[in-house]
Chains A and B, each alone.
Chain A
Amino acid sequence: MRKKDRMEMEERISEAAWVDDPEQDFVDSLKQKIVGKGSPPIGSFTHRPLSRRPALLILANVFVLLAAIIIVAGPRKVYAHIKAFFDIDDPGLHTMEAAGLVTDLEMTPEPTLLSSDKLIENISVILNWVYIDEGRLVLGFTLGSVPPGLTLDTPTITGHPSLRSDLTFSSNAVEDENASQFIFSAYNPIKADENAREINFGVDLPLIETGDADKDPLAVYHYDLEGVPVHKGQTYETKQSHPAEVNELEFLVKSVKFMPSFTEVEFCTNISAKEILALRKSDISLRIGEKPPVQDYLVLELAETGDETCIQIGFFDGGESWTEKIIFQFQQFGFVIGNRESTPPPPRHLRQKLEDVGLYP
């Protein structure tokens, strides 16, 4: 089954099987009603978090792998198409995926939405969105139904001193029944030493005959853009609504800021700040694209609130390319499970692992 068909069927089934969420009043009052009843018997309670008591540090095997395929795209539908377009089959990830240890973060940067429509010779071309950061300039267009044999050539950029004038765009097209989505991207669009936060510029987009880019264009669509934000680094807010959970340890990646030589990852976990600081460097790694994993990182910020700790760490590696797969991985983790005098038995699933490393019984 083709991906496009699969996605269409998913949409249709989701619609056919649609059920509204419960009323918030119901959700709130039910929780209140249940929790207000008081506690159930405690005797057999075994589901417990990591103990905070000062004690023996035990290494537990934890393997959390957070993979993200990062792309630039606009509205969700386009994003889904492009994601399918770039879907990467990685045999190394396959085993981890089968074990349920890969969390796809589905990250996408927020572009500036424009919806600027130009109509020439009854052919409509809409500039839907634009995204600029230090590494990329990306434009998303929709071309309405056109006579066969016509298509869009790559755009040219005019008018702002911060932008390089020799930008070369690559393009990706996704056909739909009624329209075609065109995404044009160029690398390193900003001149060195330029620090503009917002720029105004023009875009010229030629309409040409298919396969004949040398001839004069049949029409040129021109768009004037004002106040387009220039992002410093590429910050991706993740759509991970629930944490990845392994051996009771939870990890929720909030965002990734991607720069040419440095990458910041912000994540929250149910591990205490003290235990996080006890991490060995070799136990966390970041792999960008096909490059070897990097384990050299700095803790940039660490805040503990209630049950969770949020950490921002920076790795000395980055990237610039149009599509990157990022793998953020915890391999082993040291944590406190009880004090020596009254240590309760470790959870069943950990006993064998602890025995293997000589720490239990």
Chain B
Amino acid sequence: MDFDQTSVIKAKHHQRVFEKHYKKWIKPVYRYIRYRVNTDKEAEDLTSQVFLKVYEQLPGYAEKGRFPAWLFTIVRNQMTDYFRTDRQDIPLENLHLTAGKDNLLDHATRKEDLIRLRRLIRALPEPKLELIRLRFVAQLTYREIATITDSTREAVRKQTVRLLAHLKDQMEEDHA
């Protein structure tokens, strides 16, 4: 096999590896970014830049089994660059309410509750907010989060449970 053939095979393989990762991660990455920026367009631009970097840097990726950590390093760096130049707050009222049978009053109450919860979430210190983004926005598994945060699955699970309890207490205090 000469060098050209080897290069072609490697290039094809590289494309396959990228496509596999792209298929699995495009939605979590987009959701993670979209939660932090104001418009779909910004999220699409940032997501595009992330995956372009992934494609370019994939040949140098050698940490087997730790792809989520590598990927989210790129994502976070991208977000840091973005916020350095163009930070804007997200309006709290831009809430998605899932369809339900509730009447208008219930709907309004539920919306108020969600806005309150969203405020509490936004007020969390960065590590806890990041946990919310990874677990509930990007919808990653405990194991994937553990890889990204260099922790264990069990530790992430416990942190999440503690955070849920904290937010529940805060919600109840607000009601009292």
Contact = CB atoms under 8 A, between A and B. Distances in A.
A161 interface: no
B154 A98 contact: yes
B27 A21 contact: yes
B17 interface: yes
Size class of the contact patch on chain A? 35 or more
A22 B44 contact: yes
A245 B15 CA distance: 19
B87 interface: no
Contacts of A349: 64-65
B121 interface: yes
Contact of A22 (B19, B30, B64): B30
Interface stretch (A36-44, A117-125, A135-143): A36-44
A26 B26 CA distance: 10
Contact of B47 (A30, A39, A94, A245): A30
A76 interface: no
A248 B153 contact: no
Nearest to A41: B59
With a 10 A CB-CB cut-off, give which of A6, A10, A47, A246 has the most chain B CB atoms. A47
Contacts of A247: 64-65
A98 B152 contact: yes
A37 B117 CA distance: 43
Contact of A46 (B55, B62, B143, B153): B62
Interface SS, B side: helix
Size class of the contact patch on chain B? 35 or more
Contacts of B58: 40, 47
A340 interface: no
B28 to A, nearest CB: 10
Contacts of A22: 26-27, 30, 34, 40, 43-44, 47
Given A9-B164, A22-B43, A40-B56, A27 B14 contact: no
B22 interface: yes
A17 B27 contact: no
B43 A13 contact: no
Interface string A17-55: 111111100110011011101011111111111000000
A96 to B, nearest CB: 10
- Which 10 pairs of residues, A with B, have the shortest CB-CB distance? A39-B11, A18-B96, A45-B59, A9-B164, A22-B30, A1-B165, A16-B117, A100-B143, A19-B31, A17-B136
